[in-house]
Amino acid sequence: MAPSALALVRFHLRVGARLALIVFAPVVAFACGAAGFFELPFLRHLAATLFTGGSSGLLVALLALGVAGMAAPRVCRGLDGWVRHLPASGVAHRRAATLAVAVAQLPLLLGLVGLAGLAVHGAGGFLFAGLGLVATALAAAVATVPARRSLPTRILALAAAALAAIGHGLPLAAGVGLLLAADAVAGPVGHGTGARHPLRRQAAAPLERSPRGARLFAARIAWRALGWKLPEAYVAGLLPIGAAALFVANNELPPRHVLLAALLGGGVGLTLFLAEVGEALATRRPAWPWSRSLPQSALQRVTTDAAFLAVHALPIVAVAALLTPRALLPLAGAFPCLAALSSGALRRAPERRTGAAGEILLQGGLSAALLALLPWLALAFLVLTLPVLRAAAARDRRQKVSRWLEIHHLAIGDPQSWSAS
């Protein structure tokens, strides 16, 4: 191996190991802890599904691809920038990054090896399963690291991952062959998505004078910041309502309990939606110091955010009301206040390790429980909306937008940060 390639490999191995420790180890530790609650037969069944079932290779490959997909943007951050001027070839850069992404999957691999031990019999079978997992991780890494010839590389690497994950005989050999072919086809490291198109990220139109224009401008910025987080937030918000709908459909309930289920499901759904959107806004659209010099009050800023959140939360309220129309009024009364609370939470997010989501979940969860038990409280929520907005505006004014909060820098304004994605 050339000295430059070796140096890159050593460097990227550290990056991959750090990523594995920071991002994935706690997740896998949590999964192991959760697994501790289950009986051994459950784990055996899970292992059999993953390693001996008909679609076993596909499931393991999908898991590896999911983790590699999360790790690759972080490992490859800046790979098409300054580091390219160093004396190393583009192929060496790509291979080293691929190795780092594979290393970042180690916690998942260890978990899968443990499960393989339950499902596969004999040392030979276990060894092949282990080799298959390593090849799958490498193939998933090849598929996710940007390469000059990305399309054929991805096709070959995806096929390699699915075949290698089967972990025995001919499919494993074919998987390794396809992996080598994918590496040969890939060429040097490519550009990350959109990396070569700074014009796409040009600043939007300047802030217009009218408050309506300012609101539309803020909404445009928020939509851009949210991107695919918005549909994800709707999915999160609709889950509790779906659970409530299943509960109502499968039980003989008096109307009072149907209302309770609808209010609880709707309230929790609203809370989850607001938490998801609020957290994404806090991390991807941090406070903009310069904009505070413009002729717009803090109350206008927080009201704009609250209105944005409330308008987008309307579908959640509407869907919850489908369970029973009687849920519409209490939810409609409460959700402006929840949106205002969330707007305020955005202003404290940089100072808190729990970000905006922690505060929204706490306040929203309590509010949803209270609303379900005492629907008439919706009136109190409605009355409280204005004081809550004023409190949020006071928070907005107190924000130290230019202060260097080192410990939170990883999340705030850094879309590549693990805690920001």
* Residues near other proteins (CB under 8 A): 2-4, 6-8, 10-11, 14-15, 18-19, 22, 74-75, 77-90, 188, 196-200, 404, 406, 409-410, 414, 416-417
CB of 300 to other proteins, least distance (A): 30
Closest CA to 420 of 323, 286, 300: 286
Bridge partners for 189 per DSSP? 147
Closer residue to other proteins (CB): 117 or 413? 413
Closer residue to other proteins (CB): 123 or 407? 407
CB of 170 to other proteins, least distance (A): 38
CB of 118 to other proteins, least distance (A): 33
CB of 81 to other proteins, least distance (A): 4
Closer residue to other proteins (CB): 93 or 348? 93
Closest CA to 341 of 365, 314, 360: 360
Closest CA to 334 of 358, 316, 354, 356: 316
CB of 14 to other proteins, least distance (A): 6
Six token digits for residue 131: 């080799």
CB of 136 to other proteins, least distance (A): 23
Residue 163 CA to residue 178 CA, distance in Å, equals 9
DSSP assignment letter at 189: B
Closer residue to other proteins (CB): 198 or 295? 198
Closer residue to other proteins (CB): 10 or 398? 10
Q: Checking phi first, is residue 207 left (phi over 0); if not, alpha (psi -120 to 50) or beta?
A: beta
User: Side-chain half-sphere of 215: how many Cα atoms within 13 Å?
Assistant: 14
CB of 371 to other proteins, least distance (A): 40
Closer residue to other proteins (CB): 121 or 197? 197
Q: Cβ(131)–Cβ(167) under 8 Å?
A: yes
Q: Cβ(332)–Cβ(319) under 8 Å?
A: no
Closer residue to other proteins (CB): 85 or 212? 85
Interior CA angle at 233 toward 343 and 356, to 5°? 35
Bridge partners for 147 per DSSP? 189
Bridge partners for 334 per DSSP? none
SS3 127: helix
